[in-house]
Amino acid sequence: SEVELAIRGGMIVTADGMRRADVGIAGGRVVALAERIEGAAQVIEADGLWVMPGGVDTHCHIEEPNAAGGLSEESFITASRAAFAGGTTSTVSFIPQWKGHGILERADDYARRAATGMLDHSFHQIITDPTDEVLERELPQVVARGIRSLKVFLTYDAVHLSDAEYLRVLRAARKHQCLVHVHCENYDAIKWRIEALLAAGLTAPKYHAWARPPVVEREATHRAIALAELVDQPIQVFHVSCAEVAEEIAAAQARGVKVWGETCPQYVTLTADDMARTSAKDGAFEGAKFICSPAPRGADEHERVWDMIRRGVLDVVSSDHCAYSFEGPNGKRQNGTDRFDRIPNGIPGITARLPLMFSEGVSKGRITPEHFVRLVATNPAKMLGLWPRKGGIHVGADADIALWDPQRKRTLTNAMMQHVADYTPYEGMEVTGWPVRVLRRGESVMENDQVTAQPGTGQFLPRAPYDMIAPRGITPNGFAD
Ligand code: DUC
Ligand code: ZN
Ligand code: ZN
Ligand code: ZN
């Protein structure tokens, strides 16, 4: 077919190799990969640049209400700008459910909100109240819309599931062919730690990490996997913060259980000590900028997480972007308190995800360029059923492409993030490697920090059943309901 646009002279980096070649694009898709493509109507010269798939971020909180009554501030438009600025072109965000309500009532609302943005997108359906009505009548209708992933929480007051409720969700997911993503922390253990810390008068942001040490994450991860194994339902453990949690996943994988682990840039860059930072202006409240769950761990944990990434136990890196400004009505101070347990959990990271993983991973020699592409684009696309349309550069794929300058050095600032939040936890960090131009379905949407995509151009990505989420057909005693 006729090549409308050629990317010429770059180094193509995909999940399985690097090669110098031109990319031919037509109709928003890759139509040719060849040593030399002539006669294209338009040409982008990419000498010295790496041509990589646009990032696929399968864990972003966008326009999402939280339990404390606030709203994560990123809109689908500001999230799109921020994502493109950092080389990401597709996202999967969340549709909430409140206890006592159904899951269908917000479906049209979120479809409409996301359609105002510029990202190609899908959703995870959060389940907080797994009634028969929700699981048997509504869930099939959600699946019919092309949404095939459920998110559940084992902690947080307003949303956590009991083991009985979690089992019901697993069974329904198995029946209706959805993947289940699990936030693994022990609810009662954290509640008990919070009460003890508050009773002792320990309220500063740094006690967030004290309230939820690795053992509460490890216990919940072990339990989440065991129950998934009982039901024979594939799961992905979200935001694994440390090696002892990843070891639970590795042990189950060795038994053949379909369980995967996701981690995030904050777990190889931030530490619990960041929550103890102080500033002249804000005193100890400065540490609130780093409050997310699970909490970042000790500095020595970073290399252990990289080991788990290299072993393939952690095979997806998402942002868990969940932006609350420091100041302002939905910000970290929204409850007018310095109490760590009332500060909204979450940090902005949709822009910095790729640059941080590229710099800490590829530029520092911890992983290969191909492994980087697998972590941030190919594996998330495969995990969520978006492959082969997303996550690679091959004939037939959407032409979602980030052109990287692998040598470009930058010092991260909040302005560079282009998100709505008034701070970045990565302020002042040095990175090597930056996306200088981004195409979404063949259209140039970002060049040298200028995002040019028009609101309303993002497309919903419906998902069909796929192999990774099929049950194994193996249960402990052969009985599957
Ligand atoms: N933790 C969550 O569980 N969700 C959003 C952000 C966070 O830090
Ligand atoms: Zn309702
Ligand atoms: Zn979570
Ligand atoms: Zn999250």
- CA–CA distance, 57 with 66 (Å, rounded to integer): 20
Residue in 59, 60, 61 to alter for ligand 1 test, most ligand atoms within 8 A of Cβ: 61
Pairing of strands 443-447, 430-440: antiparallel
> Is pLDDT of 142 > 70?
yes
pLDDT-derived band at 423 (thresholds 50, 70, 90) equals very high
Q: What is the ipTM for the molecules in this complex? A: 0.91
- CA–CA distance, 169 with 406 (Å, rounded to integer): 43
Distance 104 CA to ligand 2 centre (A): 9
Q: What predicted TM-score, i.e. pTM, was given to this entire model?
A: 0.98
Distance 60 CA to ligand 3 centre (A): 10
Nearest CA, atom 5, ligand 1: 346
Nearest CA, atom 3, ligand 1: 293
Nearest CA, atom 7, ligand 1: 346
Ligand 1 pocket, residue 151 CB under 6 Å: no
Pairing of strands 11-14, 50-53: parallel
Cα-based angle 123, 261, 56 (whole degrees, multiple of 5): 40
Which pLDDT tens digit goes with each residue over 4-42? Answer: 999 999 999 999 999 999 999 999 999 999 999 999 999
Which residue has 């693994």 as its token pair?
184
- CA–CA distance, 354 with 361 (Å, rounded to integer): 10
Distance 116 CA to ligand 1 centre (A): 24
Residue 321, judged by CB atoms within 10 A of its CB (0-12, 13-18, 19+), counts as buried
pLDDT-derived band at 298 (thresholds 50, 70, 90) equals very high
Q: Where are the beta strands (DSSP E) in 292-376?
A: 314-317
Residue 38, judged by CB atoms within 10 A of its CB (0-12, 13-18, 19+), counts as exposed
In sequence order, the 6+-apart residues with CB closer than 8 A to the CB of 345 are: 66, 291, 292, 293, 322
Query: How confident is the model over 161-177, as a mean pLDDT?
Result: 98
> Is pLDDT of 67 > 80?
no
Judge if the upstream peptide bond of residue 425 is cis by omega within 30 degrees of 0: no
Which pLDDT tens digit goes with each residue over 398-414? Answer: 999 999 999 999 999 99
Cα-based angle 40, 45, 51 (whole degrees, multiple of 5): 100
Residue 305 Cα to chain centre, angstroms = 16
pLDDT-derived band at 72 (thresholds 50, 70, 90) equals confident
Distance 403 CA to ligand 4 centre (A): 28
* CA of 322, nearest ligand number: 1
Which residue has 């040095």 as its token pair?
430
- CA–CA distance, 314 with 53 (Å, rounded to integer): 20
Residue 335 corresponds to which tokens in the numbers above? Answer: 């409850």
Query: How confident is the model over 174-180, as a mean pLDDT?
Result: 98
* Residue-level length of the chain: 481
Ligand 1 pocket, residue 292 CB under 6 Å: yes
Residue in 62, 66, 320 to alter for ligand 1 test, most ligand atoms within 8 A of Cβ: 320
Which residue has 């999230």 as its token pair?
79
